[in-house]
Amino acid sequence: MSRFAFALALAPTAILAQEAPFRLALPIDCTPGEDCVIQNYVDADPGPEAADFTCGPLSYDTHKGTDFRLPTIARQREGVDVLAAAPGVVLGLRDEMPDILQGWDARRSLEGRDCGNGVTISHEGGWETQYCHMARGSIAVAQGDRVEAGTRLGAVGLSGQSQFPHLHLSVRKDGEEIDPFDPEDTATCGDAAPADTLWEAPLAYLPGGLLDAGFAAGVPDWFDIQAGEVVAEITTDTPLVLWGYAFGGREGDVMRLTVTGPDGVVVDNEVLLDKTQAQLFRASGRRAPEGGWTDGSYEGRIA
């Protein structure tokens, strides 16, 4: 009977766990491009000018976050939730500042609290997210709470350094501000978005568009448009005015306002934008004809 002796040498093998990539869920309960838009991106220009990651104008100098805006204050007052973008632990929060936009008579000194009411969350791997301009009294978490992606943090508000109702989201890695649309700083002018962003689901780049529109008996007040409280109050004998509220207007853009009625075209006007504006409105209309407007339906279109 033969015997065989054999040896098996096992070399130690190191199995390295790959760190999962950091990804962000949508931090606000809305659908971008439908009932909210991204008004501002991280400023990608290192100098005194400002540009978003596509070299477009949707930013301002030293802006360090992504602004998810609601179309009007009326929509904000209906209540729109702010959601945790990733799992983590609540580092800190503030919840006592009033909801007052810049330019309102009751505006107080911010004393460095430009973020207004908000929440900061720490994530694994040295990541942090910060959520600003939330509604006073809406914060739904406490310091030290563990949250998951999608956990309700509070509601969109008007607090802090804010000129429209929105959520400002800042993303940091080891204390350094990161653009979630261009985390590797590789975007080139004209790119809709780099291939590798921090978003779980792609977010389309919308360079501008309509926020709200409607009819009025005269050119509406700017505050009423921002508030979403323009009242038509049109009668047979009043002027008929079509107005459009937009974001991302660039010098040279054209807004076309058209009204048709039972007797045909009432208004057909192209308005040239003479400067770049983050938000704007334009209006066009006509006085009532002799004898008043013909009974029937009137339709407005804005492009």
Q: Is the pLDDT of residue 30 over 90?
A: yes
Bridge partner residues of 13 (DSSP): none
Work out the average pLDDT over 49-65: 94
The percentage of the chain sitting over the pLDDT mark of 90, rounded to a whole number, equals 83
Asked if 256 contacts 197 with a C-beta cutoff of 8 angstroms, the reply is no
**Closest of 137, 195, 145, 199 to residue 169, by C-alpha:** 199
**What residue has token string 């607090």?**
159
pLDDT (0 to 100) of residue 8: 35
pLDDT tens digits for 270-303? Answer: 999 999 999 999 999 999 999 999 999 999 999 9
pLDDT tens digits for 211-253? Answer: 999 999 999 999 999 999 999 999 999 999 999 999 999 999 9
pLDDT tens digits for 195-219? Answer: 789 999 999 999 999 999 999 999 9
pLDDT tens digits for 149-199? Answer: 999 999 999 999 999 999 999 999 999 999 999 999 888 887 666 778 999
Structure tokens at 103: 């330019």
Work out the average pLDDT over 87-109: 86
**Closest of 224, 298, 218 to residue 261, by C-alpha:** 298
Q: Quote the strand ranges of the chain, DSSP E.
A: 37-40, 66-69, 81-83, 88-94, 117-123, 127-134, 146-147, 152-155, 166-173, 176-177, 209-216, 240-249, 254-261, 264-272, 277-286, 299-302
Q: Is the pLDDT of residue 3 over 50?
A: no
Domain ranges of the chain: 37-177, 209-302
pLDDT (0 to 100) of residue 109: 74
Q: Is the pLDDT of residue 13 over 70?
A: no
**CATH pick for 37-177 out of 2.60.40.1180, 2.30.30.40, 3.40.190.10, 2.70.70.10:** 2.70.70.10
- The more confidently predicted of residues 92 and 111 is 92
User: Who's near 120: CB < 8 A, 6+ residues apart?
Assistant: 90, 91, 92, 93, 128, 129, 130, 131
Asked if 244 contacts 271 with a C-beta cutoff of 8 angstroms, the reply is no
Q: Is the pLDDT of residue 6 over 60?
A: no
pTM of the model: 0.89
Asked if 59 contacts 40 with a C-beta cutoff of 8 angstroms, the reply is yes
**What confidence category does residue 78 fall into, taking pLDDT thresholds of 50, 70 and 90?**
very high
Q: Residue 119's CB: how many other CB atoms inside 10 A?
A: 27
